[in-house]
Amino acid sequence: MRNIFLSLLLQITVSTYAQTNLIEIKKKQDAIIEEFLNNCAKNCNYNYQMSEWQNCLDEGLKKDSTIAYLWQQKAMPYFKARKYEVGMQYIDKAVQYDPKEWQPYRAFIKCIFAKTYKEAIIDFEDCIKKYGNGYRMDHTYSFYIGLSYLQLNEYNKAEILFKEYIDDIYKNRQGLEHPTAYFYYGISQYEQKKYNEAIITFDKALKTYPNFSDVKYYKAICLARINKKEDVSRLVDESKEDSKKGFSINEDNTIYEMYPYQKKWHE
């Protein structure tokens, strides 16, 4: 009995020490982030002071090379500058030190920025296996897998995933239906020549976002393909006008990257 008590006491002592040690490590890392990111790098504009931004972060990483957030902050401006391979080496380091936080971000970058869709699918599927089907940038991991399949011309796989995503939104997030989700679900149907189904889906997107220019463009194509041409010219004209006013895919990162199937009108 005495041995059991001593064993339990030892386990509690070790656990308490480990927790205390983790708290101390976090405090030190937070201080490094404050000094070298918040009070150094963020005094620079990485658009035209990239070297100064990077130098600040490098000094912080000299103090502690295991701070995942500093590695991510090194990667981020390179992705925005479309220097994907340069940025990827740094986000890989962030994932190494904090995979739960930064692996979904890396998978998102592969899908939307670098456009390495097969790699994005592998990364997101691994995230789902380890952490569940979480959210990144307003959408589930499976949504981005569907988007990747769409870009790999595997339209049926994409359709299944978008349908599951929309069903989940309807069931668990009523009132928060996302027009982008309907748009890509409709695109997956359109690409399989399911024009009538795609029109119904596009109309659902327009119900929540009436000026969605990209939806109007692809709905017009679907109508033309089933010989209902009376509304085609009107929709195309509306698509052009809405696009000029900025009513396109409204994801945050469209300021950096074109999203799949996004229609840019040129005069």
Q: For residue range 29-57, list pLDDT tens digits in order.
A: 999 999 999 999 999 999 999 999 999 99
Query: Taking residues 218-223, what's their average pLDDT?
Result: 97
Q: Are residues 258 and 178 part of one domain?
A: yes
Instruction: Give alpha helix (H) positions in 34-173.
Output: 50-63, 68-80, 84-97, 99-108, 117-131, 141-151, 155-172
Q: Are residues 163 and 83 part of one domain?
A: no
Token pair 């024009």: residue: 195
8-22, 137-151, 168-182, 244-258: range with lowest mean pLDDT:
8-22
Q: Which of the four pLDDT bands, split at 50, 70 and 90, describes residue 169?
A: confident
pLDDT at 22 over 80: no
Asked if residue 107 belongs to a domain, the reply is no
Query: Taking residues 88-98, what's their average pLDDT?
Result: 98
Above pLDDT 90, what percent of the chain? 81
Q: Are residues 187 and 82 part of one domain?
A: no
Asked if residue 258 belongs to a domain, the reply is yes
Q: Which residue has the higher pLDDT, 6 or 78?
A: 78
- Dig out the tokens for 213 from the structure: 């220019």
Q: Are residues 163 and 89 part of one domain?
A: no
Q: Are residues 92 and 194 part of one domain?
A: no
- Cβ(225)–Cβ(234) under 8 Å? no
What's the pLDDT score for residue 25?
83
pLDDT at 124 over 60: yes
Q: Are residues 91 and 177 part of one domain?
A: no
Query: Taking residues 95-103, what's their average pLDDT?
Result: 97
* Ramachandran class of 20: left when φ > 0, alpha when ψ lies in -120 to 50, beta otherwise: alpha
Asked if residue 48 belongs to a domain, the reply is yes
Query: Taking residues 84-109, what's their average pLDDT?
Result: 98
Asked if residue 257 belongs to a domain, the reply is yes
Determine the Cα–Cα distance for residues 29 and 16; give it in Å rounded to an integer. 20
Q: Which of the four pLDDT bands, split at 50, 70 and 90, describes residue 7?
A: low
Q: Are residues 254 and 169 part of one domain?
A: yes
Q: Are residues 261 and 166 part of one domain?
A: yes
CATH of the domain at 229: 1.25.40.10
Determine the Cα–Cα distance for residues 178 and 172; give it in Å rounded to an integer. 13
| Positive or negative torsion for Cα 191, 256, 108, 113 | positive
pLDDT at 15 over 90: no
CATH of the domain at 92: 1.25.40
What's the pLDDT score for residue 176?
64
Q: Are residues 263 and 172 part of one domain?
A: yes
Query: Taking residues 16-22, what's their average pLDDT?
Result: 61
What's the pLDDT score for residue 173?
65
Asked if residue 267 belongs to a domain, the reply is yes
Question: Looking at the 3D structure of the chain, how many domains does it have?
Answer: 2
pTM of the model: 0.88
Asked if residue 90 belongs to a domain, the reply is yes
Q: Are residues 251 and 157 part of one domain?
A: yes
What's the pLDDT score for residue 120?
98
Q: Are residues 81 and 160 part of one domain?
A: no
Host domain of residue 61: 32-97
Query: Taking residues 216-238, what's their average pLDDT?
Result: 94
pLDDT at 231 over 60: yes
What's the pLDDT score for residue 229?
85
